[in-house]
Amino acid sequence: MATGILPREAAIFFVPLVTLLLGILIGYLAQRSGYCSIGGFRDYFLFRHTRLLSGYLTLIVASCAGYLLFWFLTPDAMEHFFWALKSGVATPIPGAPGSLDTTAYLIFSIVPGFFVGLIAVFIGGCPIRQTVMASEGNYKAAWFFVGMCVGSVLFAAIVSGWVVALMRSLGFGV
Amino acid sequence: MELRYPRDTIRNISSVLIRHPAFLGATIGILAAFSQALLISAGGPEAYGFCVACHTRDLVNGMTNIVAGTSLALAAISKNSLLPVMSVAGVLIGGYISATLHREHRIKKGTRIEYLWYFLAGVAVLNLAMIFGGCPYRAALRTGYGDLTAILFIVAMAAGVILGAYLMLKKAEREDA
Protein backbone atom coordinates (compact mmCIF):
# COMPACT_ATOMS: atom_id res chain seq x y z
CA MET A 1 0.00 0.00 0.00
CA ALA A 2 1.44 3.26 -1.08
CA THR A 3 1.70 6.06 1.48
CA GLY A 4 1.65 9.72 0.49
CA ILE A 5 2.63 12.90 2.30
CA LEU A 6 -0.68 13.04 4.17
CA PRO A 7 -1.64 10.16 6.48
CA ARG A 8 -4.73 8.21 5.50
CA GLU A 9 -7.09 9.96 7.96
CA ALA A 10 -6.14 13.38 6.60
CA ALA A 11 -6.05 12.24 2.97
CA ILE A 12 -9.64 10.98 2.92
CA PHE A 13 -10.70 14.40 4.17
CA PHE A 14 -8.55 16.36 1.72
CA VAL A 15 -9.31 14.36 -1.46
CA PRO A 16 -12.46 16.32 -2.46
CA LEU A 17 -10.92 19.65 -1.41
CA VAL A 18 -7.58 19.29 -3.23
CA THR A 19 -9.16 17.88 -6.40
CA LEU A 20 -11.74 20.68 -6.41
CA LEU A 21 -9.03 23.36 -6.24
CA LEU A 22 -6.97 21.54 -8.87
CA GLY A 23 -10.05 21.34 -11.10
CA ILE A 24 -10.82 25.04 -10.72
CA LEU A 25 -7.27 25.96 -11.74
CA ILE A 26 -7.34 23.56 -14.71
CA GLY A 27 -10.80 24.75 -15.79
CA TYR A 28 -9.69 28.39 -15.63
CA LEU A 29 -6.55 27.79 -17.69
CA ALA A 30 -8.38 25.47 -20.12
CA GLN A 31 -10.95 28.18 -20.78
CA ARG A 32 -8.17 30.70 -21.41
CA SER A 33 -6.17 28.49 -23.78
CA GLY A 34 -8.87 26.45 -25.55
CA TYR A 35 -7.01 23.34 -24.46
CA CYS A 36 -8.01 20.15 -26.30
CA SER A 37 -6.18 16.90 -26.95
CA ILE A 38 -8.31 15.76 -29.89
CA GLY A 39 -8.17 19.27 -31.34
CA GLY A 40 -4.37 19.11 -31.22
CA PHE A 41 -4.17 16.07 -33.46
CA ARG A 42 -6.97 17.40 -35.69
CA ASP A 43 -5.38 20.83 -36.21
CA TYR A 44 -2.02 19.26 -36.93
CA PHE A 45 -3.51 16.87 -39.49
CA LEU A 46 -5.69 19.47 -41.24
CA PHE A 47 -3.65 22.69 -41.00
CA ARG A 48 -0.22 21.71 -39.56
CA HIS A 49 -0.99 23.94 -36.55
CA THR A 50 1.08 22.81 -33.56
CA ARG A 51 -0.32 25.10 -30.85
CA LEU A 52 -2.87 22.72 -29.32
CA LEU A 53 -0.78 19.63 -30.01
CA SER A 54 2.10 21.18 -28.06
CA GLY A 55 -0.23 21.34 -25.05
CA TYR A 56 -0.93 17.61 -25.15
CA LEU A 57 2.70 16.61 -25.78
CA THR A 58 3.81 18.92 -22.96
CA LEU A 59 1.33 17.15 -20.68
CA ILE A 60 3.00 13.79 -21.36
CA VAL A 61 6.52 15.15 -20.83
CA ALA A 62 5.58 17.26 -17.79
CA SER A 63 3.73 14.40 -16.09
CA CYS A 64 6.79 12.19 -16.58
CA ALA A 65 8.99 14.93 -15.13
CA GLY A 66 6.54 15.51 -12.27
CA TYR A 67 6.33 11.82 -11.36
CA LEU A 68 10.12 11.59 -11.55
CA LEU A 69 10.48 14.61 -9.26
CA PHE A 70 8.04 13.26 -6.66
CA TRP A 71 9.56 9.81 -7.00
CA PHE A 72 12.77 11.37 -5.72
CA LEU A 73 11.01 13.40 -3.01
CA THR A 74 8.41 10.87 -1.82
CA PRO A 75 9.35 7.41 -3.16
CA ASP A 76 6.64 5.73 -1.06
CA ALA A 77 3.88 7.55 -2.94
CA MET A 78 5.25 6.52 -6.36
CA GLU A 79 5.31 2.83 -5.61
CA HIS A 80 5.44 1.54 -9.19
CA PHE A 81 7.26 4.34 -11.01
CA PHE A 82 8.59 3.61 -13.68
CA TRP A 83 5.69 1.22 -14.40
CA ALA A 84 7.05 -0.62 -17.46
CA LEU A 85 10.28 -1.50 -15.61
CA LYS A 86 8.59 -2.67 -12.41
CA SER A 87 5.38 -4.32 -13.60
CA GLY A 88 6.13 -5.49 -17.12
CA VAL A 89 6.01 -3.87 -20.53
CA ALA A 90 2.51 -5.03 -21.55
CA THR A 91 0.79 -4.62 -18.15
CA PRO A 92 -1.58 -1.66 -17.86
CA ILE A 93 -2.07 0.43 -14.71
CA PRO A 94 -5.31 -0.82 -13.08
CA GLY A 95 -8.46 1.05 -14.00
CA ALA A 96 -10.03 -1.06 -16.74
CA PRO A 97 -12.70 -3.52 -15.56
CA GLY A 98 -12.38 -7.23 -14.85
CA SER A 99 -9.44 -9.57 -14.44
CA LEU A 100 -8.51 -10.52 -17.97
CA ASP A 101 -5.24 -11.46 -19.63
CA THR A 102 -2.74 -9.09 -21.23
CA THR A 103 -4.09 -9.43 -24.78
CA ALA A 104 -7.53 -8.27 -23.63
CA TYR A 105 -6.05 -5.10 -22.12
CA LEU A 106 -4.09 -4.41 -25.30
CA ILE A 107 -7.39 -4.65 -27.21
CA PHE A 108 -8.92 -2.39 -24.54
CA SER A 109 -6.25 0.19 -25.34
CA ILE A 110 -6.50 0.15 -29.12
CA VAL A 111 -10.21 -0.23 -29.94
CA PRO A 112 -11.60 2.36 -27.47
CA GLY A 113 -8.77 4.73 -28.36
CA PHE A 114 -9.68 4.64 -32.03
CA PHE A 115 -13.38 5.20 -31.42
CA VAL A 116 -12.84 7.91 -28.79
CA GLY A 117 -10.77 9.79 -31.38
CA LEU A 118 -13.34 9.23 -34.12
CA ILE A 119 -16.38 10.31 -32.07
CA ALA A 120 -14.63 13.22 -30.39
CA VAL A 121 -13.45 14.73 -33.69
CA PHE A 122 -17.02 14.67 -35.02
CA ILE A 123 -18.37 16.60 -32.02
CA GLY A 124 -15.37 18.93 -32.09
CA GLY A 125 -13.58 18.32 -28.82
CA CYS A 126 -12.32 15.94 -26.19
CA PRO A 127 -14.04 15.57 -22.78
CA ILE A 128 -12.27 18.54 -21.14
CA ARG A 129 -13.04 20.88 -24.04
CA GLN A 130 -16.71 19.83 -23.93
CA THR A 131 -16.83 20.39 -20.17
CA VAL A 132 -15.31 23.85 -20.51
CA MET A 133 -17.63 24.72 -23.41
CA ALA A 134 -20.56 23.62 -21.26
CA SER A 135 -19.42 26.05 -18.57
CA GLU A 136 -19.17 28.76 -21.25
CA GLY A 137 -22.88 28.33 -22.02
CA ASN A 138 -22.81 25.89 -24.95
CA TYR A 139 -25.96 23.77 -24.66
CA LYS A 140 -24.69 21.04 -26.99
CA ALA A 141 -21.58 20.55 -24.85
CA ALA A 142 -23.81 20.56 -21.76
CA TRP A 143 -25.78 17.68 -23.26
CA PHE A 144 -22.48 15.89 -23.89
CA PHE A 145 -21.67 16.32 -20.20
CA VAL A 146 -25.11 14.99 -19.22
CA GLY A 147 -24.42 12.03 -21.51
CA MET A 148 -21.15 11.41 -19.66
CA CYS A 149 -22.98 11.45 -16.32
CA VAL A 150 -25.68 9.04 -17.51
CA GLY A 151 -23.00 6.93 -19.23
CA SER A 152 -21.03 6.52 -16.00
CA VAL A 153 -24.03 4.97 -14.22
CA LEU A 154 -24.79 2.83 -17.29
CA PHE A 155 -21.19 1.65 -17.45
CA ALA A 156 -21.01 0.67 -13.80
CA ALA A 157 -24.43 -0.98 -13.82
CA ILE A 158 -24.48 -2.76 -17.19
CA VAL A 159 -21.75 -2.17 -19.76
CA SER A 160 -18.68 -3.21 -17.77
CA GLY A 161 -20.33 -6.58 -17.08
CA TRP A 162 -21.09 -7.02 -20.76
CA VAL A 163 -17.56 -6.17 -21.85
CA VAL A 164 -15.95 -8.52 -19.33
CA ALA A 165 -18.38 -11.34 -20.26
CA LEU A 166 -17.65 -10.77 -23.96
CA MET A 167 -13.89 -10.89 -23.45
CA ARG A 168 -14.21 -14.03 -21.26
CA SER A 169 -16.32 -15.76 -23.92
CA LEU A 170 -13.64 -14.90 -26.50
CA GLY A 171 -11.12 -16.73 -24.32
CA PHE A 172 -9.25 -13.81 -22.73
CA GLY A 173 -10.20 -14.61 -19.12
CA VAL A 174 -7.63 -15.49 -16.50
CA MET B 1 7.49 55.30 -17.28
CA GLU B 2 10.75 53.46 -16.73
CA LEU B 3 9.37 51.99 -13.54
CA ARG B 4 6.20 50.78 -15.23
CA TYR B 5 8.00 49.08 -18.08
CA PRO B 6 9.12 45.85 -16.38
CA ARG B 7 5.72 45.40 -14.76
CA ASP B 8 4.00 45.65 -18.15
CA THR B 9 6.48 43.20 -19.60
CA ILE B 10 5.78 40.74 -16.82
CA ARG B 11 2.07 41.22 -17.35
CA ASN B 12 2.38 40.64 -21.09
CA ILE B 13 4.50 37.54 -20.64
CA SER B 14 2.13 36.10 -18.04
CA SER B 15 -0.92 36.78 -20.19
CA VAL B 16 0.72 35.05 -23.17
CA LEU B 17 1.83 32.19 -20.94
CA ILE B 18 -1.60 31.67 -19.38
CA ARG B 19 -3.21 31.54 -22.80
CA HIS B 20 -0.78 28.95 -24.16
CA PRO B 21 -1.90 25.29 -24.07
CA ALA B 22 1.63 24.09 -23.27
CA PHE B 23 1.51 26.01 -19.96
CA LEU B 24 -1.68 24.17 -18.99
CA GLY B 25 -0.14 20.87 -20.09
CA ALA B 26 2.83 21.48 -17.79
CA THR B 27 0.49 22.58 -14.96
CA ILE B 28 -1.67 19.46 -15.18
CA GLY B 29 1.37 17.20 -15.40
CA ILE B 30 3.16 18.60 -12.35
CA LEU B 31 0.01 19.04 -10.23
CA ALA B 32 -1.25 15.54 -11.04
CA ALA B 33 2.05 14.15 -9.76
CA PHE B 34 1.82 16.42 -6.70
CA SER B 35 -1.74 15.35 -5.91
CA GLN B 36 -0.71 11.70 -6.13
CA ALA B 37 2.20 12.34 -3.76
CA LEU B 38 -0.19 14.12 -1.39
CA LEU B 39 -3.26 11.88 -1.49
CA ILE B 40 -2.22 8.36 -2.46
CA SER B 41 -2.72 7.13 1.14
CA ALA B 42 -6.48 7.42 0.58
CA GLY B 43 -6.24 4.70 -2.06
CA GLY B 44 -5.23 3.90 -5.62
CA PRO B 45 -5.01 3.72 -8.54
CA GLU B 46 -1.73 5.32 -9.49
CA ALA B 47 -1.43 8.02 -12.17
CA TYR B 48 -4.96 9.17 -11.27
CA GLY B 49 -4.28 12.85 -10.63
CA PHE B 50 -6.53 14.21 -13.34
CA CYS B 51 -8.96 12.51 -15.70
CA VAL B 52 -12.19 13.95 -17.01
CA ALA B 53 -13.94 10.64 -17.75
CA CYS B 54 -12.84 8.72 -14.62
CA HIS B 55 -13.44 11.64 -12.29
CA THR B 56 -16.92 12.20 -13.78
CA ARG B 57 -17.60 8.52 -13.18
CA ASP B 58 -16.32 8.78 -9.60
CA LEU B 59 -18.30 11.96 -8.91
CA VAL B 60 -21.59 10.67 -10.34
CA ASN B 61 -21.36 7.13 -9.03
CA GLY B 62 -19.96 8.23 -5.67
CA MET B 63 -22.75 10.76 -5.11
CA THR B 64 -25.34 8.23 -6.30
CA ASN B 65 -23.95 5.71 -3.83
CA ILE B 66 -24.14 8.25 -1.00
CA VAL B 67 -27.61 9.57 -1.86
CA ALA B 68 -29.35 6.43 -3.12
CA GLY B 69 -27.37 3.80 -1.21
CA THR B 70 -26.35 1.89 -4.33
CA SER B 71 -22.93 0.30 -4.79
CA LEU B 72 -21.84 1.39 -8.26
CA ALA B 73 -18.19 0.74 -9.09
CA LEU B 74 -15.71 3.57 -8.57
CA ALA B 75 -12.01 4.04 -7.88
CA ALA B 76 -10.65 3.23 -4.42
CA ILE B 77 -9.54 6.82 -3.77
CA SER B 78 -13.15 8.02 -4.13
CA LYS B 79 -14.65 5.04 -2.32
CA ASN B 80 -12.47 5.58 0.76
CA SER B 81 -12.79 9.36 0.92
CA LEU B 82 -15.54 11.35 2.59
CA LEU B 83 -16.68 12.63 -0.81
CA PRO B 84 -15.55 11.46 -4.26
CA VAL B 85 -12.97 13.40 -6.32
CA MET B 86 -14.33 16.79 -7.34
CA SER B 87 -12.04 17.85 -10.19
CA VAL B 88 -14.76 17.83 -12.86
CA ALA B 89 -16.97 20.05 -10.72
CA GLY B 90 -13.86 22.24 -10.36
CA VAL B 91 -13.37 22.36 -14.13
CA LEU B 92 -16.97 23.51 -14.57
CA ILE B 93 -16.57 26.18 -11.87
CA GLY B 94 -13.17 27.33 -13.15
CA GLY B 95 -14.38 27.51 -16.74
CA TYR B 96 -17.44 29.48 -15.65
CA ILE B 97 -15.36 31.93 -13.58
CA SER B 98 -12.94 32.50 -16.44
CA ALA B 99 -15.68 32.85 -19.08
CA THR B 100 -17.56 35.34 -16.91
CA LEU B 101 -14.46 37.38 -15.99
CA HIS B 102 -13.39 37.68 -19.62
CA ARG B 103 -16.93 38.24 -20.96
CA GLU B 104 -16.84 35.07 -23.04
CA HIS B 105 -19.93 33.49 -21.50
CA ARG B 106 -22.35 33.08 -24.42
CA ILE B 107 -25.47 30.95 -24.53
CA LYS B 108 -25.21 28.84 -27.68
CA LYS B 109 -28.21 26.71 -28.45
CA GLY B 110 -28.58 23.88 -30.94
CA THR B 111 -31.40 21.82 -32.33
CA ARG B 112 -33.00 18.92 -30.45
CA ILE B 113 -31.50 16.35 -32.80
CA GLU B 114 -28.02 17.86 -32.13
CA TYR B 115 -28.64 17.59 -28.40
CA LEU B 116 -29.54 13.94 -28.89
CA TRP B 117 -26.34 13.26 -30.87
CA TYR B 118 -24.17 15.04 -28.30
CA PHE B 119 -25.89 13.14 -25.49
CA LEU B 120 -25.26 9.80 -27.23
CA ALA B 121 -21.66 10.85 -27.96
CA GLY B 122 -21.22 11.59 -24.27
CA VAL B 123 -22.51 8.16 -23.28
CA ALA B 124 -20.33 6.48 -25.92
CA VAL B 125 -17.13 8.41 -25.12
CA LEU B 126 -17.47 7.78 -21.40
CA ASN B 127 -18.08 4.05 -21.86
CA LEU B 128 -15.19 3.67 -24.32
CA ALA B 129 -12.88 5.66 -22.05
CA MET B 130 -13.88 3.51 -19.06
CA ILE B 131 -13.19 0.30 -20.99
CA PHE B 132 -9.63 1.59 -21.42
CA GLY B 133 -9.59 3.01 -17.90
CA GLY B 134 -9.06 6.68 -18.69
CA CYS B 135 -9.75 9.58 -21.01
CA PRO B 136 -7.01 11.14 -23.22
CA TYR B 137 -5.65 12.97 -20.14
CA ARG B 138 -5.23 9.93 -17.97
CA ALA B 139 -3.70 8.20 -21.00
CA ALA B 140 -1.08 10.95 -21.06
CA LEU B 141 -0.52 10.66 -17.29
CA ARG B 142 -0.21 6.88 -17.58
CA THR B 143 2.32 7.29 -20.38
CA GLY B 144 4.27 9.66 -18.18
CA TYR B 145 4.09 7.13 -15.36
CA GLY B 146 5.62 4.51 -17.63
CA ASP B 147 2.59 2.51 -18.80
CA LEU B 148 3.38 1.58 -22.39
CA THR B 149 -0.14 0.35 -23.17
CA ALA B 150 -1.34 3.94 -22.82
CA ILE B 151 0.87 4.88 -25.79
CA LEU B 152 -1.19 2.43 -27.85
CA PHE B 153 -4.33 4.30 -26.78
CA ILE B 154 -2.82 7.65 -27.84
CA VAL B 155 -1.65 6.28 -31.21
CA ALA B 156 -5.05 4.66 -31.85
CA MET B 157 -6.74 7.90 -30.84
CA ALA B 158 -4.59 9.86 -33.29
CA ALA B 159 -5.55 7.36 -36.02
CA GLY B 160 -9.23 7.79 -35.18
CA VAL B 161 -8.87 11.58 -35.25
CA ILE B 162 -7.11 11.45 -38.63
CA LEU B 163 -9.86 9.22 -40.09
CA GLY B 164 -12.57 11.45 -38.65
CA ALA B 165 -10.92 14.66 -39.87
CA TYR B 166 -10.44 13.08 -43.32
CA LEU B 167 -14.13 12.12 -43.47
CA MET B 168 -15.16 15.62 -42.42
CA LEU B 169 -12.84 17.11 -45.07
CA LYS B 170 -14.39 14.88 -47.76
CA LYS B 171 -17.88 15.82 -46.61
CA ALA B 172 -17.04 19.53 -46.75
CA GLU B 173 -15.59 19.15 -50.25
CA ARG B 174 -18.71 17.32 -51.43
CA GLU B 175 -20.92 20.07 -50.06
CA ASP B 176 -18.82 22.74 -51.77
CA ALA B 177 -18.93 21.00 -55.15
Query: Which 3 state secondary structure label does DSSP give A68?
Result: helix
Q: What is the pLDDT of residues A39-61, one digit of tens each?
A: 999 999 999 999 999 999 999 99
Same domain, B57 and B18: yes
CA A55 to chain centroid: 15
Instruction: Give the residues across from A100 on adjacent strands.
Output: A173
User: Residue B47 pLDDT > 90, yes or no?
Assistant: no
Same domain, B155 and B87: no
Same domain, B164 and B123: no
Domain segments of chain A as ranges: 1-87, 90-174
**Domain range for B167:** 147-177
Same domain, B27 and B105: yes
Q: Cβ of B40 and A3 within 8 Å?
A: yes
Q: How far is CA A111 from CA A116, A159, B120, B128, in A?
A: 9, 16, 18, 8
Measure CA of the first residue to CA of the last residue in chain B; give whole Å: 58
Same domain, B117 and B160: no
Structural domain includes residue B140:
no
Question: Which B positions 122-141 lie with beta carbon below 8 A of chain A?
Answer: 122-141
Q: Do residues A93 and B129 make contact, with C-beta atoms less than 8 angstroms apart?
A: no
Query: Which 3 state secondary structure label does DSSP give A81?
Result: coil
Residue B173 distance to chain A (closest CA, Å): 13
Same domain, B153 and B119: no
Q: How many domains does chain B have?
A: 2
Q: Do residues B18 and A33 make contact, with C-beta atoms less than 8 angstroms apart?
A: yes
Query: Is B62 in CB contact (< 8 Å) with chain A?
Result: no
More confident site: A3 or B163:
B163
Q: What is the pLDDT of residues B2-46, one digit of tens each?
A: 556 677 888 888 888 888 999 999 999 999 999 999 988 888 788
Structural domain includes residue B63:
yes
